[in-house]
């Protein structure tokens, strides 16, 4: 019984996280997660389904620098009470990833798409 409830929660959590993933603004298929999290602000990504080109907005610059700040200050703040630096670092990163995925409007369609798909 308890296990069933737990796995239910896990499924809910998973579908919730999946809903937050970056999606194509044209056809709503999923965009690359690694692009969203790891690429530089100038990097653009193309939707594998419809070919629409997406780029980051300035808002993404702000949120990603905010997240970096959270990790840096969080490390200094919690270092005295949590001795596992690596664990602390990864949980802070995870927190930042969850926060940053949840903030909308971080990317938009590139209007000057030179490689127009007909
Ligand atoms: Zn698309």
- Domain ranges across the chain: 37-118
Q: Do 10 and 91 contact (CB within 8 A), yes or no? A: no
Could you tell me where the DSSP H helices lie in 1-118? 2-20, 33-38, 58-78, 85-102
Per residue in 74-110, pLDDT tens?
988 888 887 788 899 999 999 998 888 888 899 999 8
114: CA distance to ligand 1 center in Å?
16
What's the confidence (pLDDT) of residue 45? Answer: 93
Q: Do 57 and 106 contact (CB within 8 A), yes or no? A: yes
pTM of the model: 0.69
37: CA distance to ligand 1 center in Å?
19
Residues in the chain: 118
55: CA distance to ligand 1 center in Å?
13
Query: Where is average pLDDT lowest: 56-60, 76-80, 113-117?
Result: 113-117
What's the confidence (pLDDT) of residue 101? Answer: 84
Residue 8: pLDDT band (50, 70, 90) is confident
For residues 60-87, give the mean pLDDT.
88
What residues sit around ligand 1, an ion, with C-beta below 5 angstroms? Answer: 24, 26-27, 47, 49-50, 52
For residues 58-69, give the mean pLDDT.
91
Q: Do 63 and 103 contact (CB within 8 A), yes or no? A: yes
Q: Do 25 and 49 contact (CB within 8 A), yes or no? A: no
Higher-pLDDT residue of 64 and 19 is 64
48: CA distance to ligand 1 center in Å?
7
Q: CB burial class (10 A; 0-12, 13-18, 19+) of residue 5?
A: exposed
Say which DSSP state 82 is in.
-
Residue 3: pLDDT band (50, 70, 90) is low
For residues 48-69, give the mean pLDDT.
92
Coil, helix or strand at residue 23: strand
């Amino acid at each position: 019984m308890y296990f069933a409830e737990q796995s239910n929660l896990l499924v809910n959590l998973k579908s919730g996280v999946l809903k937050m993933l970056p999606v194509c603004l044209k056809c709503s298929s999923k965009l690359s997660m690694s692009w969203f999290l790891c690429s530089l602000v100038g990097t653009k990504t193309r939707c594998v389904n419809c070919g629409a080109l997406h780029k980051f907005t300035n808002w993404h610059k702000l949120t990603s620098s905010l997240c970096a700040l959270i990790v840096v200050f969080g490390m200094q703040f919690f270092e005295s009470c949590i001795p596992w630096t690596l664990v602390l670092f990864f949980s802070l990163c995870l927190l930042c990833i969850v926060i940053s995925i949840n903030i909308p409007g971080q990317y938009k369609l590139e209007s000057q798409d030179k490689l127009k798909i007909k």
